[in-house]
A and B are shown apart, each in its own frame.
Chain A
Amino acid sequence: DIVMTQSPDSLAVSLGERATINCKSSQSVSYSSNNKNYLAWYQQKPGQPPQLLIYWASTRDSGVPDRFSGSGSGTDFTLTISSLQAEDVAVYYCQQYYSTPYTFGQGTKLEIK
């Protein structure tokens, strides 16, 4: 199984400031034949299921604010929130869909400083 490791485990950022979450996979989740990265990011608030933010490592899902962006390739990926809003307090997960079982990172808890 591909192991997904996120860093940090928790993060406190001031409102309006940038938040950066990292995700590393134990093997590449990119296919050179189609130049795609099989990596998604999710946001989960208490008592709710995860919500898809980004797929293909950098494509925002419909309705996701443009302050959320994803980058990276191969084994190293980043989720950036450019200007933290109060409603962004949540746990964030990366997930690879390169091979089954699709695996998630352990999560990064984002709080307001």
Chain B
Amino acid sequence: QVQLVQSGAEVKKPGSSVKVSCKAPGGSFSSYAISWVRQAPGEGPEWMGGIIPILGIANSAQKFQGRVTITADESTTTAYMELSSLRSEDTAVYYCAISTHYDYLRGSYRYIGIDYWGQGTLVTVST
């Protein structure tokens, strides 16, 4: 069982940035694939991007490119997601999540399902 602990709820103004943290237990942190997934009220989950710390490989959905930065600090086993230029449509619960397995095929890594999820961080963007 992998317990992920996320930072607390945030209220932000439009145009500002938010940085959400996700603390994972030590051990295999670096070898996991870490995703950030958000879920707006009443909507389905939306994958924003991810990182495999041990490989130093991060990628994000085209929709968020230029606005999202996903990083991982192996020394503190903490992952971060920063989203900038916030707008009201970014109001959602943001989850960090781990895939304990991934594969490599045709030049790309693929996260095999998402096994463990954080408790979620509500980010509200409002004037």
Smallest Cβ distance from B89 to chain A, in angstroms?
Answer: 17
Instruction: Tell me if A40 and B113 are in contact (CB < 8 A).
Output: yes
Cβ of A106 within 8 Å of any chain B Cβ, yes or no, is yes
Which of these binds chain A: B9-17, B20-28, B57-65?
A: B57-65
- Chain B neighbourhood of A100, CB < 8 A: 47, 59, 61, 108
Instruction: Tell me if A103 and B113 are in contact (CB < 8 A).
Output: no
- Chain B neighbourhood of A77, CB < 8 A: none
**Sample of 20 A–B contacts (CB below 8 Å):** A1-B61, A33-B105, A33-B106, A40-B113, A49-B97, A49-B118, A49-B120, A50-B114, A52-B113, A52-B114, A97-B111, A97-B112, A99-B110, A101-B47, A101-B48, A101-B61, A104-B45, A104-B46, A105-B44, A107-B44
Which B residues contact A (CB, under 8 angstroms)?
35, 44-49, 59, 61-63, 95, 97, 105-106, 108, 110-115, 117-120
Which A residues contact B (CB, under 8 angstroms)?
1, 31, 33-34, 38, 40, 42, 49-52, 55-56, 61, 93, 95, 97-107
